[in-house]
Amino acid sequence: MKNKIAIITPFYPIKHRNDLFEDTKAIYYLLKDFPKDSDVLIIHLYMHGFRTAFKQLRKVLSIKGNYKHYLYKDDYGNRLIFFEYLLLFPKSIKTLSYFSKKIINILKDFSIKEQYTPEIAVVHFPTYYVDLMNKISLFPKTIAILHSFDIKNIKNRGKIKQWEDYFNNFNAIGFRSYQIKKEFENLIEFKGKKFMCLSGIPENYISHQINSSNYNVKEKINLTFAGRLDSNKNVANTILALNKIDKKIQFSFTIIGDGEEKNGIKKIAQNIGMFDRINFTGRLSREKTFESMINADIFIMVSKKETLGIVYLEAMAAGCIIIGTRGQGIDGIIIDGENGFLTDSNNINEISQTIYRVMTLSSEEQERIRKNARRTIESLNEKTVSREYFYNICSIKQEENI
């Protein structure tokens, strides 16, 4: 018997829409090793942010009634319904009930005509879909998967009792990082089951022979960053912190990625005399990014907010020593001083001190950190985490009462 599972998410690859901001493919990777006989329906509810919402208003409001206008397939052969929401107010997660009613009617039409009723729905970023989940009655059981944005939304909107009531309508909650689980449990008392829903990286990355070079004896230490160049990734603070490093230490900093902050970052580097030490590659493929990290010594990404950050895991597999943000998604996977290093993303002096600490590690310490990092990621491969994700969904689906 096929497992009928609906996955609700605001992020998922849509080949025909290159105009959409896709922050992550993490949920796509989580489905990588689902059993072939699974009957998965992806419900991609994309949210246009406030800055572009009014430009999209006329197009998105003209919703066609026939579900076939929204039906596609992903690379795994799963059916995918793509629908667009609008966030019409700045710093708000509230959407018009109009959209919820329309998508519910379209899903009901799909369910009837395709004879498809999901046995369970898995909702990623559930704080975005309060109105939808309170109105829809299509799913016998539901699981909420919390990301860092959900914690931010809960804190920003307050009214903890209302959030408790909302989340206790779910049968289970999964957490995208240990830090998210810790923060959620400090805010909300949840009566159902809980589990971890971590990301993984390709198996061939983990089997890669790690870099064992001692960068203290190299002419130049190579640092790298990979990600979207926006204010959250905090690359400007990294450059300002590097500028405080002792001039006797020779280093270069490779920045992989593109985004709205790129020109501003370049200007900062020029103004403080760091531009000749920085290499902007632009956006690279996942494979090319990994190849670049293999040639690096230190990977640094001190994001202000990060759910987990697959790129950290990939950098660990490549043999880089990692510097991440304390209190964010990678905290709990990285243990400071054991398999990587953590710092305060807002404190330039502390970032600089952490970088200097890593740059001056002895060869023995470098080897210890790399070996510990390799042990950490061995179980975090895409196939293993995908199977665990599927198992946790099905274990909730099969339970009569929770």
pLDDT tens sequence across 279-331? 999 999 999 999 999 999 999 999 988 877 889 999 999 999 999 999 888 88
What tokens appear for 346 in the block? 């807002």
Q: What is the DSSP string of 244-262?
A: TS-TTS-EEEEEE---TTH
Query: Which three-class secondary structure string do you get for 372-397?
Result: HHHHHHCCCEHHHHHHHHHHHHHHHH
pLDDT tens profile 114-144: 999 999 999 999 998 999 999 999 999 999 9
Comparing 5-19, 77-91, 134-148, which segment has the lowest mean pLDDT? Answer: 77-91
Beta strand 71-73 with 79-86 is: antiparallel
- 358-363 long-range contacts, CB within 8 A, separation 24+: 358/298, 358/321, 358/323, 359/215, 359/221, 359/245, 359/249, 359/251, 359/298, 360/216, 360/249, 361/216, 361/321, 362/216, 363/214, 363/216, 363/217
Residue 64 is predicted with a pLDDT of 67
pLDDT digits (tens, 9 = 90+) for 207-225: 877 766 677 656 789 999 9
Q: How confident is the model at residue 1 (pLDDT cuts 50, 70, 90)?
A: low
Angle of the 310-318 helix axis to the 363-377 helix axis, nearest 10: 130
H-state helical runs in 158-294 = 160-167, 178-187, 203-206, 235-242, 262-271, 286-294
Highest mean pLDDT among 47-56, 165-174, 391-400: 165-174
pTM for the model: 0.85
Spatial contact of 292 and 255, defined as CB atoms under 8 Å apart: no
| Residue 84 confidence (pLDDT) above 60 | yes
Under the banding of pLDDT at 50, 70 and 90, the label for residue 401 is: very low
Residue 54: pLDDT band (50, 70, 90) is: low
Give yes or no for a contact between 355 and 245, defined as CB atoms under 8 angstroms apart: yes
Contact 332, 178 (CB under 8 A): yes
